A and B are shown apart, each in its own frame.
Chain A
């Protein structure tokens, strides 16, 4: 190459380098500058002196030489003088060539992009940490700011569709938006987005369509180029996306070359993807949290349900306890009554013995005195009064259940009256009793039980009126149940009935109580024991008589109990013996045993009067001996039931062992421990309740002797 050509080339290079803001240095192997060229001042590089080390001018060359490879590139080197350069260092024959050029432009967009990437990464890290450390402290608010930070970091303009389908800018608008024509409108929030972003017209329509079809994911407009006021070209791209139900239009903007854009977008998207993944795990956490909350709610509901059940159970239990308390009260009452009953029974026994003497001797006296004696009416008065006393004792015994349980024809009216008489004494004056007893009919039942039924119902009525007083109405009438429906309703057979009504004007009962009023509390309890009968027992007694009981009640108005009992209609009703005649004996020999001397004394006289021979004994063991000595002499044995040493029962059994066919009559003041069955089994001819009048005695003796024959 000639010197001229070299000069030429040199000149050309100088100009090219000068115009293109390039600088070049030729450096020898010691790192000293031998030649340089280009526009040094544009790059803020001071003119070097000959043989200056390159590190003085290009500070980044410190430590770089000697170069190992063929060449080395420097990119975006910011120097203390604030210039930002790229450089290329390469080996040449004499040493090294170094070309430096301005990288400010590149630096500008690179920094912006890198900045975005790094800020995003930081955001992501922050978010990650937050999720790790405080997974439960997430809130919509924070997500909101994170989202906005994200948009801002990405330099996006984000518009959100409001309820009217109109788009409003959210978050901080990016700087570039100002460069767009009509940006004022969008910044003020009342624009038609198509006017500002002309390319959006069709795109928005499609996006809205997709959203209305619940389309997930995002939809992109594609890159669109527009010039700003200063004629600079911009790249725009819009993305329509539904984030947690929010319809967003994300508009990205770029200033760089389309090919650079590729990598930038790539990075941004990678990050967005990353963020999205994170977001998803965030969402998963949230849904897990929600599910947990739901479960907790369900559990709470379960617990509430259980509590409710428990409360109900408690209520029920309390109710049952109250019932039990009532029942035990009834039981106590009944035990009390039983004690009173026993006491009354005991007294009645003695009393009956005394009455026997009074009646017996009065009767004897009447027989002995002359027909026109002035003593006769007096004695008859004693006898009459004694008869009333006997009735009274009978009533006490009935009340205290000391009489035998046996179904027999009963005049219901009499029992009702008996109960009402007993009650009258104990009822307070403010309770009025009204009777309307129209029937004299009979029923077949156990007197004691019926007595108790009426007593119970009347007592209940009284209790219902305790507070405010009122009227107790008792009615009795005969009815003929022909009507099928009535009979079905009351579960009664068609026929004749006595209807007993007990009505009060008391507090009444609510339906739920009426429903259960006849429920049995004590199904196993012996129904013949206890005076404080529950209504269940009443029900049982009535049913047992083939009758029925119904109740009507109204709160505040009172209750009405109706009892239906079948009429007892028979021609040979067992009627009280009213025969005045005394059957006389035929000199038969009778052994009379009673521990009470006055009884034996009286019996001796009575039976003698009747025409019998009488041997008496006040000791049952002694009586047995008398019988043994003359067992074929006696025609009849009459013995008291309760005696010391040997009871009448035992005595009878022993006598029957020796002489099975001899008739025995058992007498008792009261007897709880012997029933008609036992009596029959024992072959006892007659059972007499003291006090025994002469009429009854004579007939019993006669009957017993006749049976023997």
Chain B
């Protein structure tokens, strides 16, 4: 079974890093921005079910590059990524969520707060986090650098997609 997922979020939040970590188990400190789309394939299993994930790593959203909404077509799940050390990226992620829902309707998604290894620079307080979780949004804190919670995030989304 093939499932398409899109990584959405502001630039430099670690979308590519998360995918690389998940698919190739590698991480680089060097920032190499994504232009256009990078597509990766990853096979996983939920119970008996084998799932081929087609992961769209879209370029980061900013005032110069907007996410090409048509690319979202056919997605079974979405991962919104924010950078915990840059508070503004959380707003971008939530904004993208609004737009994506308008374009392709509701699909399973997860909100990821990445770079959790950088706790000393953390800018998102517990209250803000609680506000978001209260809206029924699943928030996972990850680190592409250490690999913490990365695999779990993709597994969780896959499971949600299958459950749907």
Contacts and interface: CB of A to CB of B under 8 A. Distances in A.
Interface residues of A, number: 31
B11 A59 contact: no
Interface string A111-132: 1001101110110010001000
Nearest to A67: B73
B4 A63 contact: yes
Contacts of A576: none
Contacts of B14: none
B35 A114 contact: yes
Contact of B11 (A60, A65, A118): A118
A118 B36 contact: no
B70 A118 contact: no
Contacts of B11: 118, 121-122
Contacts of B41: 59, 80
Contact of B39 (A59, A119, A121, A122): A59
A60 B32 contact: no
A77 B35 CA distance: 8
Contact of A118 (B12, B56, B71): B12
Interface in A65-121: 65, 68, 72, 74-80, 84, 103, 107, 110-111, 114-115, 117-119, 121
Interface residues of B, number: 31
Interface in B63-103: 64-65, 68, 70-71, 73-76, 86, 88
A29 B30 CA distance: 43
Contacts of B62: 117-118, 121
B33 A125 contact: no
A78 B38 contact: yes
A474 B87 CA distance: 99
A60 B37 contact: yes
Contact of A115 (B33, B36, B40, B86): B33
B37 A63 contact: no
Contacts of A110: 35-36
Contacts of B65: 114
Given A63-B4, A118-B60, A78 B76 contact: no
B35 A117 contact: no
Given A117-B64, A121-B11, A125-B86, A62 B36 contact: no
A107 B4 contact: no
A354 B65 CA distance: 131
Nearest to A108: B35
A385 interface: no
Interface in B27-69: 31-41, 54, 56, 59-60, 62, 64-65, 68
Nearest to B4: A63
B74 A62 contact: yes
A115 B32 contact: yes
A64 interface: yes
A55 interface: yes
A411 interface: no
Nearest to B32: A115
A65 B73 CA distance: 9
Nearest to B89: A125
A509 to B, nearest CB: 74
A84 B59 CA distance: 14
Interface string A552-578: 000000000000000000000000000
A267 interface: yes
A587 to B, nearest CB: 131
B130 interface: no
A267 B64 CA distance: 8
B50 to A, nearest CB: 16
A26 to B, nearest CB: 20
Contact of B37 (A55, A65, A76): A76
A64 B73 contact: yes
A118 B74 contact: no
A660 to B, nearest CB: 114
Contact of B2 (A55, A79, A118, A125): A55
Given A60-B56, A63-B4, A84-B36, 4 more contacts: A62-B4, A107-B35, A111-B35, A115-B31
11 contacts: A63-B54, A75-B36, A76-B36, A77-B39, A78-B39, A79-B39, A103-B36, A114-B65, A117-B62, A118-B12, A118-B31
